[in-house]
Amino acid sequence: MASGELTSGAYIKHHLQNLTFGKFPDGHWGFAHTSQEASDMGFMAVHVDTLGFSFVLGALFLFFFARAAKKASIEAPSGFQNFVESIVDFIDENVRGSFNGKNPLVAPLALTTFVWIVLMNTMDLVPVDWLPVLFASMGVEYLKVVPTTDPNATFGMSIGIFILILYYSIKEKGLGGFAGELTLHPFGKWMLPANLFLEGVNLLAKPVSLALRLFGNMYAGEMIFILIALLPFWIQWSLSLPWAIFHILIVLLQAFIFMTLVIVYMDMAHQKEH
């Protein structure tokens, strides 16, 4: 959909609207045609575009990394094998530097979160009208192509990480040890309510900070691309190219920050000193 076909406000709202499938108030199921219809569907509505792009990009990650592993050669490594090995070495170095426990899950978890988020963030570099126009020709009215600009995606990942943090905190420290960590620190047993409040807030802040940091940065970047698309054509290219080049740093940096925090939080879950 070209920006000239809509007012500026309508254009922005259109590009920030997910392709939503859910149950209408009258009981039938279908796709929302307005933001109000999407809102009326409630909590159980599904953002089809977010799920679709997330799964496709995740499948591409698994396919190409599995292909590189299958075709790995010591004598004559391909360029792609060297590229994959450099990513794996980078992740392994960060895990060894930040994680002091023993858990074979942490490195694959860090690799998966980093590469998957990089791929999802990179969709922000696709010109904002290309895919929406393509899908509009097939009858798809709304389409958001960057999964990490949807808080449902970022919170989904962060809640998954949070569940792992809780699981390994209890597994490594025991239920009593984990409860003691929440209730006896930092002020001792005589300040149990204050300890529980402070440690509880600290614990719950982990998934919230993971989700909102990634969402906020990517949403802001996408908004700037949309605003640039509203400008005259001759100005668009003079602004979008420098912003896209700068945004490459944001794409990689946000994935790195998310991965680093995952490693740090998993290390904290494995600490038994207290």
Known catalytic residues are 209, 213, 217
Identify the three-state secondary structure at position 32. coil
Can you tell me the distance from the alpha carbon of 61 to that of 56, in angstroms, rounded to the nearest whole number? 9
Distances (CA, A) of 24 to 29, 33, 89: 6, 11, 49
**The pair of three-digit structure tokens given for residue 125, joined into one six-digit string:** 């570099």
* DSSP codes joined into one string, 150-202: SHHHHHHHHHHHHHHHHHHHHHHHHHHHHHHHHHHTTT-GGGHHHHHHHHHHH
C-beta separation of 211 from 270 below 8 A: no
Helix residue ranges, H only, the chain: 8-15, 35-40, 48-70, 79-98, 106-122, 130-136, 151-184, 192-229, 233-270
Unique residue bearing structure tokens 């290309």: 130
**The pair of three-digit structure tokens given for residue 53, joined into one six-digit string:** 């792009």
Strand partners, 22: 30
Sequence letter at residue 35: S
Residues 6+ apart with CB under 8 A from 236: 228, 229
Strand partners, 31: 21
